[in-house]
A and B are shown apart, each in its own frame.
Chain A
């Protein structure tokens, strides 16, 4: 990113933070948390200890960070190197991101950037300018993507409450600031749980690693198999609903499955992971030393804010998390597809100088498709 763009973004972010200190708070037990930040074009600074909102606000003003992070873990010595921090516990967090949900890029919301000739164009297999296949993909606002991530969040919440016994009211959902959601289960009995155990929880949620016996299939006495019922709780019930569609189909379909044999059912269970498993990022859940984007801070991949979601159904990230002001600014935009922010439509722009609100400028700069005049 060029110096002019960096200055514009830094100044915009700083102004935003100055005007929205009310959104930026250190979490509970701040002196046990590790904080970190990144600067535009810079590396990660972590192992920072902050004790209060004031210290956080000072960091934002002094360092003009592109991104700000805070650990879900609590440590005795958060500012020491990782091996000496003395890990105490960590909130259980799940990450659901649109990129993990799709098998292909959304056609109307994706653009490609050629690594050879820098041409930006709508989604294609090769660069239309030089035919190169070395492409990077950028997704812009996509309502369908947000809808499918929301659906996953709802399914995850159900498993957390019904299966894992986490109180619904304690679950906190945050929009990640780009294409997904972070789901926090703070103050749960799982805070003491280590990384390996969290990996098991992630596998459970993703429907990963299951065996036919779990669903009543008897390998050596197939005729005595009894597959799940519609009204069963947990994964048995969910699988039954997926397999049979309706209650009355159970007998016929379960018979078909049993006569198909053990190996085939095992294979089918692996395939069902794609359709009924919740698509969380397991690495996020099992990493107990990670630093997460701080709620209230701006995500430099988009210029949108990581924000608490009160009503998931009504939440529209392209409106509710787009909090930068609408002062008109001139930029050169190279965005061959349309996108929509704060209920306003933008693009396509063919490498042209335009005057648009700052929130859209920041969005495009963060996506690498606009530059200062």
Chain B
């Protein structure tokens, strides 16, 4: 079923995605992407990260514009609260990824979405990052995501959208499975 025959309009060009999927099946090297960020420390716990270019489809790519994001810590940590904490940015990524997936899957299944609202909460015992208790991990002890979705579909179909989105989500995978993180350093001249 092409988009022409589908009545749902969620703003996702599924035909283009399916065409890309078919093309990349034949050319797996073009499917190799690199996502990038550069970050500048400003002061205290305040940093500014810029997103502008990435690599994919065999060539360098650029976003339509540069995006800048400030991260900081709240005042209760004696910081200036110039932006969300970095761990909150992780929630930004997860919510953005899952909701995008829900829209894409809904479009592919011809389900009209009217409202997709996610509420996220991550638990963290900061005895970990403060080095108080070695048995406590630094990161989240869990993330809870709740979706409120209004759509032309049964509750089971809506649950299936959310499940399928998790199955194909990059950020869900990054958070639920181990990733090798390699940090190098050089002394700036």
Partners in one complex: no
Interface positions of B (Cβ within 8 A of A)? none
Interface positions of A (Cβ within 8 A of B)? none
